[in-house]
Structure 1
Amino acid sequence: MNHYRLETIYTLLQPLSHIGESESTQSFLNTTTVVNDGKPEEVFVYTGNALRGMLRDCGARYLLNKLDIRVPLKAFHLLFSGGSIGGAQALDIDQAKVIRKALPFVSLFGGGVGNQILDGKLKQTFVYPVCRETNSIIPSYVEKSDYSWRHFTNVIEFSRKDDEKNVDLAEQFLIGQDEQQLLEGETTKKKKEKDGPATQMRYGVEYLAAGTKLWHRWDIICDELELGAFVSALHEWQKQPYLGGKNGSGFGLVQADMDVIINGQRKKFADISPETVFLGEIAKKAKETYDAHLKDMYDNYVIENKSEMIKLLSGEA
């Protein structure tokens, strides 16, 4: 087992939306309180749970694509959501060892398997913006900022309109009221009588500006196979390197520069951009080891006995 400390600088290539609360038609960024120069201050924070959940989904997709299988609901929940506990909680050491050895992804991210919980091996910080309020939190090697995170925020407004009232669209694609009434019954006619003129709702979204840098740290004590499962999640995420919400509206595209600190030495771990992913020596070797493990599973389980593979993924092996 090795201790891998992974530190990442995310650079926003598009605005970031990560909502903490909403009021009426306005949505606001998620924040927390930090102590800066002895006084509490509010600062934006991207939660570790959101980052972990995103990577878990990516790692699960990578695993199932490599094994070329679909799984039942129980295994689906285990891989994508962490599973659930059924019945009285117990500890089956032999079963846990089998699962950790065969499924390094589950060993790394953890989950509820059968009636026991497998602890994950990922520890992490929140994701903080590089700003005045976090100068005492982020490592000294990161260039400090004299600007408050509030200088990096703004609000953008969107509109949502009723396309049913668009005459050109309605005449071309919408069936007539008489035909609609036949399809849906009398309630449709009554509803139409109540319909008023088209309304256009406007709503605002607070965002963190493109160009903002954010810092994050993982601490992972694991073997090379489990580290490879982590790299596979990064590799899958690079296909759509987005953070936060409203990705379909233009938010969240990022690039990530990740270093690994192992045995006191800092090395390049991965560089992820919308165009490509570059893996450093440690990450590349770990992923090769993991891919070989998945190929062995495919050859020995999926081809010869798919049901055994599914039982293993469901924690029933």
Structure 2
Amino acid sequence: MNHYRIETIYTLLQPLSHIGESESTQSFLNTTTVVNDGVPEEVFVYTGNALRGMLRDCGARYLLNKLDIRVPLKAFHLLFSGGSIGGAQSLDIDQARVIRKALPFVSLFGGGVGNQILDGKLKQTFVYPICRETNNIIPSYIEKSDYSWRHFTNVIEFSRKDDEKNVNLAEQFLINNEEIQLIEGENKKKKEKDGPATQMRYGVEYLAAGTKLWHRWDIICNELELGAFVSCLHEWQKQPYLGGMSGKGFGLVAAEMDLVKEDGRESFAQIGQEFIKLGTTAEQAKKAYDEHLKEMYDSYLIDNKEEFTKLLAGEVK
């Protein structure tokens, strides 16, 4: 087993929405309290759980696409959500060893398999903006900031139409004239009851494009498990977004990931808008993982797909 410390600098290429609280029609960024020079202060934070869940989904998609299979609901929950425990919890070391060896992805992220829980191997920090409030939290090699994270935030407003049906579209695209008349009648009643149709305005607080954020992973694992982690990054780079509202233009990021070693730093992965460039360690690990998946396909899936689903369900001894 090796210890891999991976530090990432995310650069927002579009505004970031990561909602913590909502009040009326306003949504606010997620925050936490940090102590800065002995003074407690509020700061934006992107939760580790959100980042881990996103990468888990990406890794599960990569795995199933590589194996070219669909799985039953129980296995689906294990891969994408961590599974669940059925019956009395127990620890079967031999079974756990089989699962960890055959499924590095599950070994890395952990989950409930059969009637036991496999601990994951990922440890991480929250994702913090590089700002005045986090100067004592982020590593010393990163240039300190004189700006508060509040300088990087703003509010954007959107409009949402009310529930009134669009009769013009109905007349253009609906076949049944009776349905059009029904819509017109419902709209007339609504206007008589509620008055003229209005649009609702709502505001979303966001972190501005150009903001940089810092994050760290600590992973004690073997090369295959590291390869499973790299596969998550490889799948994520196809749509490198963080947070919510990506359909409205939010969340696009670039990422510079470094592997921190005793003798210095090594580029682990560079993820941009149009590319992913893996460092030597990451590339070798992904290659080993891909070869493992090919062997798994050859041994489990060509002749007997049931064996693979039994493995995911924790039924292989």
Secondary structure of the residue aligned to 1:240 is coil
Structure 1 residues not aligned, in runs of 5+:
183-187
Alignment partner of 1:194 is 2:193? no
Cα distance change on mapping 1:267 and 1:168 into 2, 3 Å? same
* 1:5-16 paired onto structure 2 within 5 Å: 5-16=5-16
Give the drift of 1:193.
5.2
Deviations 1:250-309 (A, max 9, x none): 000000000001344311100001201000000000000000000000111111111111
Deviating beyond 6 angstroms after TM superposition, the runs of 4 or more aligned structure 1 residues are: none
Q: How many residues align?
A: 312
Alignment partner of 1:280 is 2:294? no
Confirm or deny: 8 A CA contact 1:152 1:208 kept in the other structure: yes
Letter in 1 for 2:245: K
Deviations 1:188-223 (A, max 9, x none): 898555322432111000000000000000000000
Give the drift of 1:311.
1.2
- 2: CA distance between counterparts of 1:32 and 1:152? 16
**Which residue does the alignment assign to 1:151?**
151
**Which residue does the alignment assign to 1:91?**
91
Letter in 1 for 2:190: D
Give the drift of 1:137.
0.2
Structure 2 residues not aligned, in runs of 5+:
none
- 2: CA distance between counterparts of 1:153 and 1:7? 24
- 1: CA distance between counterparts of 2:47 and 2:123? 13
Confirm or deny: 8 A CA contact 1:3 1:262 kept in the other structure: no
Confirm or deny: 8 A CA contact 2:167 2:184 kept in the other structure: no
TM-score w.r.t. length of structure 2? 0.94
Confirm or deny: 8 A CA contact 2:164 2:187 kept in the other structure: no
Deviations 1:87-125 (A, max 9, x none): 111000010000000000000000001111000000000
Identity level (%): 82
- 1: CA distance between counterparts of 2:247 and 2:74? 30
Secondary structure of the residue aligned to 1:269 is strand
**Which residue does the alignment assign to 1:123?**
123
Deviations 1:1-60 (A, max 9, x none): 000000000000000000000000100000000000110000000000000000000000
- 2: CA distance between counterparts of 1:74 and 1:127? 31
Letter in 1 for 2:223: E
Letter in 1 for 2:260: I
**Which residue does the alignment assign to 2:203?**
204
Structure 1 range deviating more: 304-313 or 257-266: 257-266
* 1:1-317 paired onto structure 2 within 5 Å: 1-162=1-162, 164=164, 166-174=166-174, 178-179=178-179, 191-192=186-187, 194-196=189-191, 197-317=196-316
- 2: CA distance between counterparts of 1:191 and 1:177? 14
- 2: CA distance between counterparts of 1:292 and 1:298? 10
Cα distance change on mapping 1:165 and 1:282 into 2, 3 Å? same
Letter in 2 for 1:73: L
Confirm or deny: 8 A CA contact 2:174 2:180 kept in the other structure: no
TM-score w.r.t. length of structure 1? 0.94
Give the drift of 1:169.
2.4
- 2: CA distance between counterparts of 1:159 and 1:10? 30
- 1: CA distance between counterparts of 2:22 and 2:99? 42
- 2: CA distance between counterparts of 1:69 and 1:285? 25
Give the drift of 1:315.
1.9
Give the drift of 1:243.
0.1
- 2: CA distance between counterparts of 1:250 and 1:263? 40
- 1: CA distance between counterparts of 2:10 and 2:120? 24
Confirm or deny: 8 A CA contact 2:113 2:312 kept in the other structure: no
Confirm or deny: 8 A CA contact 2:82 2:111 kept in the other structure: yes
**Which residue does the alignment assign to 1:185?**
none
- 2: CA distance between counterparts of 1:190 and 1:120? 58
Give the drift of 1:157.
0.2
Structure 1 range deviating more: 194-203 or 35-44: 194-203
Secondary structure of the residue aligned to 2:217 is strand
Secondary structure of the residue aligned to 2:14 is coil
- 2: CA distance between counterparts of 1:256 and 1:216? 10
